[in-house]
Amino acid sequence: MYQTREEWLKQAIDLLRPHFVAAGAPVPASIRVACAETPNFSRHGLEVVTLSDSQSSDRAVEITVSWTLDDPAVVLARLIHGLCAATAGGSKHGPAFVRVASDMGLIADGKTANPWTRTVAGPSFRPNDLLAELGLYPHAKVNPYLKAKQSARMILAKCPQCGYAVRLTNRWIYAADGSLNLPICPNDRSIFKLA
């Protein structure tokens, strides 16, 4: 239905606007939303970051939903958290945020010093109608901690006599016919062994 994550997120915001109006906290008109790496994710596990309009040169609220999320219900809950922060003036999690978040069906996660800094969907959170209208979230989970396989792996070789160590690529370890072709130690003329 949607080609990009951002289209899905923008449509979700449009569908959520009447719910926020009903909660007495209209969503700001100018909002930019993106799916990307959230600042401090590795240190704090932040899955949504909201920057207030005062932090943007064109006065737009900026919401970033973590690219580590791919479950539409979780993404919607995090987006609602971001929108609650937007209605409360940015990254503040005080009484105004708590009231709106509670009205929207979120509850405090309780795993941080301020329990409302992280929220989860509570028992009154019923996103099924919205999710049915939105359809699938066009995104595959990103794991920023998986590293690409190193193509030029440096392999340790040591002299069996003196322990002199060098690192080599496979190109210098194996001859064209596949046999070992290890260098000779400059100290005692022994052939290196792979460590």
pLDDT of residue 187: 94
The mean of the pLDDT values for the chain is 89
Tens of pLDDT, residues 108-139: 987 777 788 889 899 888 888 899 999 999 99
Give the separation between CA 111 and CA 126, rounded to whole angstroms: 23
pLDDT of residue 44: 67
Give the separation between CA 82 and CA 64, rounded to whole angstroms: 8
Per the structure block, which two tokens stand in for 40? 């401090």
Which residues pair with residue 45 across a beta bridge? none
pLDDT of residue 114: 77
pLDDT of residue 176: 82
CATH number of 5-134: 3.30.2010
pLDDT of residue 146: 76
The half-sphere exposure of 29 on its side-chain side, counting CA atoms within 13 A, is 1
Q: What are phi and psi of 108, to 5 degrees?
A: -70, 140
Q: Where are the domain boundaries for CATH 3.30.2010 in the chain?
A: 5-134
For residue 28, the one-letter residue type is P
Looking at residue 190, the DSSP 8-state letter turns out to be P
Please state the rounded mean pLDDT for residues 6-26.
Answer: 95
Burial class (CB in 10 A: 0-12, 13-18, 19+), 130: middle
Above 80 in pLDDT, residue 71?
yes
Give the separation between CA 110 and CA 119, rounded to whole angstroms: 8
pLDDT of residue 75: 96
Q: What are phi and psi of 56, to 5 degrees?
A: -115, 135
Above 80 in pLDDT, residue 40?
no
pLDDT of residue 92: 74
pLDDT of residue 150: 64
Tens of pLDDT, residues 138-190: 999 988 777 766 666 889 999 999 999 999 988 888 888 888 889 999 999 99
pLDDT of residue 126: 81
pLDDT of residue 82: 94
More confident call, 170 vs 64: 64
Please state the rounded mean pLDDT for residues 2-12.
Answer: 96
